[in-house]
Structure 1
Amino acid sequence: MYKSLSLILFLLFLAACSTTPSVRPPNDNELPKGDQGGAQKVGKPYKIAGKWYYPKEDPTYDEVGLASWYGRQFHGRKTANGEVYNMNSLTAAHKTLPLPSFVKVTNLANGRSIVLRVNDRGPFIDSRIIDVSRRGAQLLGFQKQGVTRVRVQASDANGNVVNPLPTRQYAEAPDDAEVTHFVQIGSFSKKSSADEQARMVLRAGETPKIYETIIDGRKLWRVRIGPLLSRNLAQEILDRLVGRGFYETRIFTEQKR
């Protein structure tokens, strides 16, 4: 009897040792930090639909092209490096960048920028250079249209890039002599919400102002930095704020009055 009990306990011990620990998906709105059991790798060359792709380290990666997004059909599945895809977290798929790595993605249609963690492969359509999570598409402002023109730059987790050339050279931007620029962190229907947002931005080291405006008969309070005479300066401020977690920050360019 005692021998049988010992054998059962031994077998249970072996089963426990061989069980793979559960891997949690990243939390919603989270920029994953590598605590999900995924592997770090550059990856070997691979072939998809007759075309070869060659992963490599590229700390100065800087490319303009189309971004798309992927969502529910992949939600909960493992990514190319073994992490768990959560369509509501801040991740992306790229054909050749190391897994994982971080990229700063800027929507050239509206100036919004966010930082994403590359932990998957794709998209395998020639004109597209990156697939972002659904949450990434929401923050970049192109979820409804599905595809948009973006600039993708290799970065660290705070959005710092090796060669931070101004984004405006890739977008149609008016002459700075004719316009003024604002970095907008948020727009609120309640002044108390705008006040709280302004305090958070102030704690992050920037100096915002609250602008009251009326749009379509509704009174709104905008938390902004500006007016700024230089688009480059506005871009630098936006980059700092995105790196500190203000992912919905964007640049507004308006005609001088």
Structure 2
Amino acid sequence: MTTVLARSALLLLIFLLAGCGGREVREPRDGAGRPLDPSRIEVPEPRPEPRARYGNHSPYTVLGRTYHVLPSARGYRERGLASWYGSKFHGRPTSSGEPFDMYRVSAAHKTLPLPTWVEVTNLDNGRTLTIRVNDRGPFKDGRIIDLSYAAAVLLDVVDSGTARVEVRAIDQAELPVDTIGSPRELPVLIQAGAFSNERTAEGVARQLRQADIDRVRVERDRVDGRTFWRVRIGPLRDAARAEALSRRIAGMGLGPPVYVYP
């Protein structure tokens, strides 16, 4: 019982001080879940984004060490070890408040602003991947970035557990304004967010309705035994309207929306 209480207290401390969503320090090899076909993993397109509401508190302390979030990602480039995380944290909130999906490309970093788009190169095999950083970690010496399982598959880090990498932040100025782009087909739903907490999802839906956005709904979904609430708008049958609405939602500080095809 004492061990359980101590562990719970540690997780709570990490969450409160670092905004890490209850994450803990991981071993190099985490649960991989179902096998992934690299050709079927969707790689997100970089886009300009406002800072996340959560996860950017600075300074913060984890396991006795204090970290300072960088005021800007501009010019950041570093070499070191990458590790990865998977099923132990699948569905749990990340530091930015978004649910962690091990089957999507993302990453954790100790000091980059959330979110930040980075280019990660595996120095052992030359593979390069563009990744969105939306979480905090890894909190082990020598490791500079923690990859999601999907990102680790694409960079060929799963079997080794760690790899030598170079991480380069992509400057917002490098990103075109229209990276939200057009839907591939119509009709389309716009997903403003997916949350592990129903109250949070309802709050986002209420914010959208108060902004005079109609046809907003919250849908309950189950993924690998975990429950999510997805905030969606539509369906929309006009591509220009879908693009304009996507940019408007991104400008509200809710993060980049995604297109979902019914």
TM-score, structure 2 normalization = 0.46
For the pair shown, the structure with the greater C-alpha radius of gyration is 1
TM-score, structure 1 normalization = 0.47
